[in-house]
Amino acid sequence: MTGGGHGPRPYTFYLLAGLFCLFVLFLYGPMISIYILSFQGPTGGLVFPLKGVSLDWFGALFGQARTGDIGGAFSRSLPLALVTMAATVVISVAAGLAFRKPFVGSSVVFYMALIGLIVPGLVLSIGILVTFNFLGLRASWWGSAFGAHLSWTLPFGLLIMFAVLSRLNPEYEEAARDLGASNWQVLSQVVIPIVFPGIIAVALFGFTLSYDEFPRSWLTVGSRNTLPIEIWTMTTNVTSPALYALGTVTTVISFAVIAAALGSIAYIQRRRRQIGNMR
């Protein structure tokens, strides 16, 4: 019962460990099966068994007979997700810091963020398109869709910053200030380094929520599709393992981003430890 304790494990441990393993199987099983199926041989179909192993379906994805503008969709989704990520980090970290002390209007901002989280994406998609029409602007992936993504990533970022900053002990800041640090020094040399893993979490959320966002993008991307919309179109008209190949490719890109993020955390933690040892 008590974590960190010793002695024999209670029966509930084994029961819940079993549940956990089943859950992991449930999460990963289907995904792994489509990664395997994306290497289906040229004559293979959408289900097991594999009829040989080939890279044909990856070729089909980018080759002459390609089914949609996958390359173009990638070239829009990736920068959009990166810019959304950067904006989400800067804006929600700043706002999170402001929220540490009460200020007039804080609940208005908080409820706006909450509504951004709660309102169904499709509804916001309609709203943003209508807004752009009213203003005489044209919907585009870098304009209206960018705003639509922010309406979803910013509230998430804010919530994560709440969770992270509520664990930050204000005594560190007071100590720094007692030693003569300026506001900026306290922020850049005490607060930011301590909450850095939380900031990485905000960045990862910002990237993924944008990179995979479908309902909010649907009406707001304008004439050029982002990747999730391209995938959506493919699900309705592609009936070959090329669809799975696309799944494998997008997953590899997502994983590359996570690996870069986690790698940077590990690198920074190690450097910090080295600097700590030197002192």
Partner 1 sequence: MKLSKATRYLQVAPLAILLFAFVVVPLSLVVVVSFYTYLHLIGIVPDFTLVNYIDVLSNLVNWKLYLSTLKFTFFTLAITLALGFWIAYFLVFHVRNILVAIGLFLVCTVPFWTSNIIRMISWKPLLGKYGLINQGLMSAGVVDEPVEWLLFSDFAVIVSYVHLYTLFMIVPIFNSMARIDKSLIEAAVNGGATRWGVVWHVILPLCKSGIALGSVFVVTLVMGDFFVVTVMSGGLSGSVTFGIFNDLKFLNYPRASANAVVLVIIVLIFAAGIMRLVDVRKELTR
Closest distance of CB 176 from partner 1, Å: 10
Closest distance of CB 241 from partner 1, Å: 9
Are 272 and 193 contacting, i.e. CB atoms less than 8 angstroms apart? Answer: yes
Nearer to partner 1, 52 or 64 (CB): 52
Closest distance of CB 57 from partner 1, Å: 14
SS3 at position 40: strand
Closest distance of CB 276 from partner 1, Å: 19
Closest distance of CB 251 from partner 1, Å: 5
Nearer to partner 1, 27 or 55 (CB): 27
Cα(121)–Cα(220) distance, rounded to whole angstroms?
A: 11
Nearer to partner 1, 205 or 278 (CB): 205
Cα(137)–Cα(144) distance, rounded to whole angstroms?
A: 9
Cα(148)–Cα(127) distance, rounded to whole angstroms?
A: 10
Nearer to partner 1, 60 or 186 (CB): 186
Nearer to partner 1, 110 or 196 (CB): 110
Are 198 and 159 contacting, i.e. CB atoms less than 8 angstroms apart? Answer: no
**φ/ψ of residue 173, rounded to 5:** -65, -40
Closest distance of CB 255 from partner 1, Å: 7
Furthest-apart CA atoms within the chain: distance in Å = 73
3-state secondary structure 223-265: CCCCHHHHHHHHHHHCCCCHHHHHHHHHHHHHHHHHHHHHHHH
Q: Is the peptide bond prior to 49 cis by the omega test (within 30 degrees of 0)?
A: yes
